[in-house]
């Protein structure tokens, strides 16, 4: 493994929700009772709405769902952003997780907020992350993005071959999410892409039920902690992954 480490797995195991197996079994039972085809659209749409909301989209789930049933549909950039993200989730659900398909998903989801030449393309510019107080994080240099993403997907490919238990699967899914965000490989759409990538990996290891895990909803409801726990340092070379377990725990907590 080149970029994904099991260094924090032991600590994760001591702090992770001990009810993860039972919670996942409950989710599985609920899923079997429901009509899968009728409900998958709802779960993918819900994921897209909440993931967009984390990035500041003002359309909530009720408004989006009501619009679907109404003759008068929503319009505007925010609505189109959600529709594009739903398309990206559907592509992921129907496709193997690899770098090529992941870039396709980014191309689809970012049509409303990136110029054509940046869709599905790794950035060639320096980039920083800002909040209301100013610059909070400087991502890796653009000339190193391709190499880091190659390492990440090489590790993902290796993990897909491994027989991971439930705890390990959630650990690595969260770690993929975290490291991807720190690489910040795109000019925009990194958060949406990270949350999709996390769930895509889960689906590869756990099957279709993974798409029903309300992680995006949980991250939105706890977005203050979400951003706080992602922030492990001021730049890519100063990240303190000894503090990463607080973030890694959040995915497990999202399972009701």
Considering only residues 232 and 20, tell me which one the structure prediction assigns the higher pLDDT.
232
Torsion angles phi and psi, residue 7, rounded to 5: -55, -30
* pLDDT greater than 80 at residue 30: no
- Specify if 246 maps to a domain: yes
* pLDDT greater than 90 at residue 12: yes
* pLDDT greater than 60 at residue 26: yes
The total domain count for the chain is 1
- Specify if 108 maps to a domain: yes
- Specify if 4 maps to a domain: no
- Specify if 1 maps to a domain: no
Candidate from 84-88, 130-134, 135-139, 140-144 with smallest mean pLDDT: 130-134
Give the pLDDT mean for 18-26. Answer: 72
* pLDDT greater than 60 at residue 32: no
Longest Cα–Cα distance of the chain, Å, equals: 53
Residues 131, 56, 187, 178: what is their CA dihedral angle, to the nearest 10 degrees? 70
- Specify if 2 maps to a domain: no
Tell me the pLDDT tens digit for each residue of 91-104: 999 999 999 999 99
| pLDDT range class, residue 84, cuts 50, 70, 90 | very high
Which residue range forms the structural domain that includes residue 98?
9-253
pLDDT of residue 31: 61
* pLDDT greater than 90 at residue 146: yes
pLDDT of residue 159: 99
- Specify if 3 maps to a domain: no
Give the pLDDT mean for 105-114. Answer: 98
CA distance 126 to 123: 8
| pLDDT range class, residue 34, cuts 50, 70, 90 | low
Give the CATH number of the domain where residue 121 resides.
1.10.3290.10
| pLDDT range class, residue 225, cuts 50, 70, 90 | very high
pLDDT of residue 68: 82
Tell me the pLDDT tens digit for each residue of 168-191: 999 999 999 999 999 999 999 999
- Specify if 208 maps to a domain: yes
Given a contact cutoff of 8 angstroms between Cβ atoms, the answer to whether 57 and 78 are in contact is: yes
CA distance 33 to 31: 5
What mean pLDDT is reported for the chain?
93
């Amino acid at each position: 493994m080149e970029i994904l480490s099991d260094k924090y797995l032991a600590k994760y195991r001591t702090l992770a929700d001990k009810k993860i197996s039972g919670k996942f079994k409950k989710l599985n039972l609920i899923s079997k009772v429901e009509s899968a085809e009728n409900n998958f659209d709802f779960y993918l749409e819900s994921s897209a709405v909440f993931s967009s909301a984390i990035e500041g989209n003002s359309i909530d789930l009720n408004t989006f769902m009501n619009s679907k049933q109404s003759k008068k549909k929503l319009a505007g950039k925010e609505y189109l952003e959600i529709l594009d993200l739903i398309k990206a989730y559907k592509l992921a659900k129907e496709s193997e997780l690899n770098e090529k398909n992941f870039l396709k998903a980014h191309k689809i989801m970012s049509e409303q907020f990136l110029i054509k030449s940046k869709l599905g393309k790794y950035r060639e510019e320096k980039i920083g992350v800002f909040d209301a107080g100013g610059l909070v994080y400087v991502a890796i240099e653009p000339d190193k993005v391709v190499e880091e993403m190659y390492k990440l997907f090489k590790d993902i490919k290796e993990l897909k071959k491994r027989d991971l238990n439930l705890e390990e699967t959630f650990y690595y899914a969260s770690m993929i999410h975290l490291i991807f965000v720190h690489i910040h490989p795109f000019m925009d759409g990194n958060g949406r892409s990270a949350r999709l990538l996390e769930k895509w990996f889960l689906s590869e290891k756990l099957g279709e039920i993974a798409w029903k895990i309300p992680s995006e909803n949980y991250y939105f409801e706890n977005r203050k902690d979400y951003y706080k726990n992602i922030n492990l340092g001021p730049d890519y070379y100063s990240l303190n992954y000894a503090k990463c377990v607080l973030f890694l725990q959040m995915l497990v907590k999202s399972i009701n």
